């Protein structure tokens, strides 16, 4: 064990000792990562000067390096109020991009530094880190090194991640760098990994490992302590029950476990495949046996997780009309924060698209120099160029999903700038933009996601009927098309009215823009009868209050409307903080595009991410059959009898959690975790239950709490596991959550990964549960 220290002042001898120890720690970590001889990683560990770019006037040199834990980037800051060793974790990096690919670099640097520039993009709301290296070769080396470390970290198995984390936490606790652990250092280490124990138990644990009775732990004694710390009693009980072959699991023993506990239709060959895939001991693998470590490895991998691996890829029928799918949709996509004075950014489009969003909004206004801009009108939100947003959409639209992206236009531009908008979309999106109906004849229904792979659809106003595409001499007649703002009437907040809006007047529509609106023509909703008389491609947008009322009071009619027509729902204008509404009642009502503020984390975005977790994270989920039948009698509120009623009893045992994150950097701040299990769906299925809290243990809390739920309409249900830090005086604090479709649950003993508030994976953290879904 070696120490990991900050960049403090040292004497020459102390500096030499520190450097030697740091080098040894780095070698151990590189060995753990399997990157001992990697030149790019050695380059990162040495570090170097980079020019940090914040604005045209703020450009400063900073020294960056990878710490010896091979997981933390350290940089030297000159801010007096910042700590002397500011860092950020590699786990917090979403992507590293070579070149001037961010707004900041394009705006604040010259073309000549294109090859020297790179950006670090973060998962949270943290701003991008825009940097310039001294040469193109160095920039490439920074990017290659960071991408390698991110990739290798993501490929570590759970045991390796735990070992890496605990080793470096022990190094941090070794205050005097003597490669030994005193009782005081052991207690500091336990606090760092989220465990608080009393002095008596700490002394007992220490003495149990101090075989030499020297008053400190070193070498094999530390290894013994590590084994005690990482012991999983609940796994031991399960393994021992089925390890009936000389203390090991044979393929037959494993098959019995898979069939009896996991309720899987497995065969002996399936058991043999798992042993070959996950057993770490070569001798045991050769004998077709699974050790406890191999069993734990299996439980942490895809086959052992709660989410059905069969749903990880695209598994649904993608040849149905577009109106038969729920479509992941964003509102005010250009905003990074609130809709009053928050920044607009092309990066917001990138983040939404990378999270499988398939419908993005562009709120377009006249800009200077004849170039349209995007921002939240009549507010202090910043502006971005329309063409830059379209370029960002094109660049990132199909990196996560290959299925179509809908550009929802809120156009407030003059005719001249509308023409510019059309020119930009045609030039930038090229042949991927749908500019005429598919096929040679007027369609009677929407094309399917499969037919529209890699294509862009424009949602907006259109001057004439789509049928006129097949009648070249047809005249353009303006319809009663409106924007969402016109529909929302007086719903704006007082803050939005701070600047006096001009009196409403009809903006003329440029033919060039009208002509590229094909399958998503915006029209006002005048009731179900009027809508039924309209063509299939004429769609309406609904403010949330209107949509919620329809989903509650006219649910069956709304569902029938949404069988053949597209509906987009958007948040109320009064949500100036860019908060969200509950999307579930609107999905129950068959609404396809339930648009949420992707920039605002919380329960609603957790539900959205959980809903679209299945089907390969494609952003498209096929509706249940009763939401695709124009004569359906389904009503989620009244729940009359029908094929949608498939009642299930859902048993869940919350057994334990592993390596929950600390919520405070204070060493003495330890979480008191509890788990809530929540079901969302039709009103009759909505329910929640919670465990007691475990005091002062975020590393390995255990509950063994049993809950039971009754679910009537499983195809519309979502299950959310929420972990909170209990607080008797205030609201509990969020630790992590995981949401998935009820129909994607796997039975048996399962690990549940946990996501942070932004929907990104929490490294190492998770729950261990037992699931049983039975037919009523």
Chain-centre distance for alpha carbon 18: 39
700 belongs to an annotated ligand binding site: no
Instruction: Exactly one of 152, 164, 376, 751 is catalytic; name it.
Output: 376
Cβ count near 310 (within 10 Å): 10
The region that residue 34 occupies, defined by phi over 0 for left and psi between -120 and 50 for alpha, beta otherwise, is left
646 belongs to an annotated ligand binding site: no
577 belongs to an annotated ligand binding site: no
471 belongs to an annotated ligand binding site: no
253 belongs to an annotated ligand binding site: no
410 belongs to an annotated ligand binding site: yes
Structure tokens at 137: 């070769």
53 belongs to an annotated ligand binding site: yes
Total residue count of the chain as it appears in this document: 776
192 belongs to an annotated ligand binding site: no
363 belongs to an annotated ligand binding site: yes
Q: Which residue has the tokens 């509706």?
A: 623
Residues 6+ apart with CB under 8 A from 602: 579, 580, 757
CB 765 within 8 A of CB 657: yes
72 belongs to an annotated ligand binding site: yes
Query: In angstroms, rounded to a whole number, what is the distance separating the alpha carbons of residues 402 and 383?
Result: 29
CB 322 within 8 A of CB 329: no
Residues 6+ apart with CB under 8 A from 680: 584, 607, 686, 717, 718, 719, 720
587 belongs to an annotated ligand binding site: no
- The torsion angles phi and psi of 443, rounded to 5 degrees, stand at -70, 155
383 belongs to an annotated ligand binding site: no
Three-class SS state of 482 = coil
Indicate if 224 belongs to the active site.
no
Q: What sign does the CA torsion over 186, 187, 189, 193 have? A: positive
727 belongs to an annotated ligand binding site: yes
557 belongs to an annotated ligand binding site: no
361 belongs to an annotated ligand binding site: yes
Beta-strand (E) ranges in 289-422? 289-290, 325-327, 329-330, 359-365, 373-374, 384-385, 405-411
Cβ count near 640 (within 10 Å): 11
618 belongs to an annotated ligand binding site: no
568 belongs to an annotated ligand binding site: yes
459 belongs to an annotated ligand binding site: yes
66 belongs to an annotated ligand binding site: yes
772 belongs to an annotated ligand binding site: no
581 belongs to an annotated ligand binding site: no
What long-range pairs does 39-48 form, CB within 8 A, spacing at least 24? 40/141, 40/144, 40/145, 40/148, 41/66, 41/70, 41/145, 41/148, 41/149, 43/141, 43/142, 43/145, 44/142, 44/145, 44/146, 44/149, 45/70, 47/74, 48/133, 48/134, 48/138
Query: In angstroms, rounded to a whole number, what is the distance separating the alpha carbons of residues 377 and 504?
Result: 14
- The torsion angles phi and psi of 710, rounded to 5 degrees, stand at -115, 125
Indicate if 211 belongs to the active site.
no
703 belongs to an annotated ligand binding site: no
65 belongs to an annotated ligand binding site: yes
69 belongs to an annotated ligand binding site: yes
Q: What sign does the CA torsion over 52, 58, 59, 60 have? A: negative
Instruction: Exactly one of 300, 331, 424, 561 is catalytic; name it.
Output: 331
Chain-centre distance for alpha carbon 560: 32
Look at strands 567-570 and 593-596 and give their pairing.
Answer: parallel
- Determine what percent of the chain falls in helix, strand and coil, rounding each to the nearest 5: 35, 20, 40
217 belongs to an annotated ligand binding site: no
64 belongs to an annotated ligand binding site: yes
Cβ count near 265 (within 10 Å): 7
Residue closest to 459 by CA, chosen among 414, 406, 419: 406
228 belongs to an annotated ligand binding site: no
152 belongs to an annotated ligand binding site: no
426 belongs to an annotated ligand binding site: no
Name beta bridge partners: 750.
Answer: 769
Q: Which residue has the tokens 């399917």?
A: 448
244 belongs to an annotated ligand binding site: no
Cβ count near 370 (within 10 Å): 11
Cβ count near 246 (within 10 Å): 8
- Residue ranges of the annotated binding site for Ca(2+) are 332, 361, 363, 410, 670, 672, 696, 725-727
- Residue ranges of the annotated binding site are 52-79, 332, 361, 363, 410, 459, 461, 541, 568, 670, 672, 696, 725-727
Catalytic residues: 331, 376
- Residue ranges of the annotated binding site for substrate are 52-79, 459, 461, 541, 568
């Amino acid at each position: 064990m070696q120490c990991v220290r900050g960049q403090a002042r040292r004497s020459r001898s102390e500096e030499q000792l520190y450097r030697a120890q740091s080098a040894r720690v780095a070698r151990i970590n590189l060995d753990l990562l399997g990157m001992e001889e990697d030149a790019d990683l050695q380059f990162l560990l040495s570090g170097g000067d980079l020019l940090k770019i914040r604005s045209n006037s703020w450009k400063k040199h900073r020294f960056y390096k990878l710490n010896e834990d091979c997981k933390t980037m350290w940089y030297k800051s000159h801010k007096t109020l910042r700590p002397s060793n500011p860092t950020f974790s590699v786990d917090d990096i979403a992507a590293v991009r070579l070149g001037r690919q961010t707004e900041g670099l394009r705006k604040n640097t010259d073309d000549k530094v294109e090859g020297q520039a790179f950006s670090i993009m973060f998962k949270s709301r943290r701003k991008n880190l825009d940097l310039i290296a001294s040469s193109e070769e160095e920039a490439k080396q920074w990017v290659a090194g960071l991408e390698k470390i991110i990739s290798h970290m993501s490929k570590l198995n759970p045991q390796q991640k735990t070992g890496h984390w605990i080793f470096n936490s022990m190094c941090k606790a070794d205050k005097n760098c003597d490669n030994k652990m005193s009782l005081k250092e052991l207690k500091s280490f336990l606090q760092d990994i989220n465990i608080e124990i009393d002095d008596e138990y700490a002394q007992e644990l220490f003495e149990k490992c101090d075989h030499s009775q020297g008053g400190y732990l070193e070498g094999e004694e530390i290894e013994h302590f590590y084994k005690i710390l990482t012991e999983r009693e609940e796994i031991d009980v399960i393994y021992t029950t089925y390890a009936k072959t000389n203390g090991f699991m044979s393929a037959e023993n494993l098959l019995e476990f898979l069939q009896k506990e996991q309720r899987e239709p497995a065969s002996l060959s399936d058991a043999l495949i798992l042993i070959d895939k996950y057993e770490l001991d070569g001798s045991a693998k050769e004998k077709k046996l699974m050790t406890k470590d191999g069993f734990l490895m299996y439980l942490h991998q895809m086959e052992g997780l709660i989410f059905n691996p069969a749903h990880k890829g695209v598994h649904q029928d993608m040849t149905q009309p577009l109106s038969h799918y729920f479509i992941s949709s964003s509102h005010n996509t250009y905003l990074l924060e609130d809709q009053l004075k928050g920044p607009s950014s092309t990066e917001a489009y990138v983040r939404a698209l990378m999270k499988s969003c398939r419908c993005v909004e562009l709120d377009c206004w006249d800009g200077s120099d004849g170039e349209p801009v995007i921002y939240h009108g009549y507010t202090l939100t910043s502006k971005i160029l329309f063409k830059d947003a379209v370029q960002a959409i094109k660049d990132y639209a199909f990196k996560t999903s290959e299925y179509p992206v809908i550009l929802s236009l809120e156009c407030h531009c003059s005719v001249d700038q509308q023409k510019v908008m059309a020119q930009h979309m045609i030039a930038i999106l090229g042949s991927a933009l749908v500019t005429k109906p598919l096929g040679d004849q007027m369609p009677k229904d929407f094309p399917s996601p499969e037919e529209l792979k890699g294509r862009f659809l424009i949602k907006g106003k259109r001057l004439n009927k789509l049928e006129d595409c097949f009648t070249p001499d047809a005249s353009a007649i303006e319809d009663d098309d409106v924007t969402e703002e016109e529909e929302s009437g007086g719903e704006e907040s007082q803050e939005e009215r701070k600047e006096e809006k001009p009196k409403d007047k009809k903006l003329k529509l440029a033919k060039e823009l009208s002509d590229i609106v094909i399958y998503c023509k915006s029209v006002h909703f005048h009731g179900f009868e009027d809508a039924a008389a309209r063509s299939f491609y004429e769609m309406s947008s609904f403010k949330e209050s209107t949509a919620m009322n329809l989903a509650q009071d006219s649910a069956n009619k709304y569902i029938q409307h949404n069988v053949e027509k597209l509906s987009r729902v958007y948040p109320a204008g009064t949500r100036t903080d860019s908060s969200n509404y509950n999307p579930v009642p609107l999905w129950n009502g068959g609404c396809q595009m339930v648009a949420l503020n992707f920039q605002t984390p919380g329960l609603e975005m957790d539900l959205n991410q959980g809903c679209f977790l299945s089907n390969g994270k494609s952003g498209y989920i096929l509706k249940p059959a009763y939401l695709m039948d124009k004569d359906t009698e389904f009503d989620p509120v009244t729940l009359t009898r029908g094929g949608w009623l498939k009642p299930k009893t859902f048993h869940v045992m919350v057994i334990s959690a592993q390596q929950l994150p600390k919520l405070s950097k204070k060493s003495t701040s330890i979480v008191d975790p509890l788990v809530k299990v929540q079901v969302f769906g039709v009103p009759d299925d909505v329910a929640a239950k919670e465990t007691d809290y475990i005091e002062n243990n975020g590393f390995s809390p255990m509950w063994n709490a049993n809950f039971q739920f009754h679910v009537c309409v499983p195809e519309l249900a979502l299950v959310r596991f929420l972990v909170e830090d209990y607080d008797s005086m205030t609201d509990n604090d969020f630790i992590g959550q995981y949401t998935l479709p009820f129909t994607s649950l796997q039975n048996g003993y399962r690990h549940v990964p946990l996501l942070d508030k932004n929907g990104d994976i929490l490294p190492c953290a998770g729950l261990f549960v037992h699931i049983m879904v039975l037919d009523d």
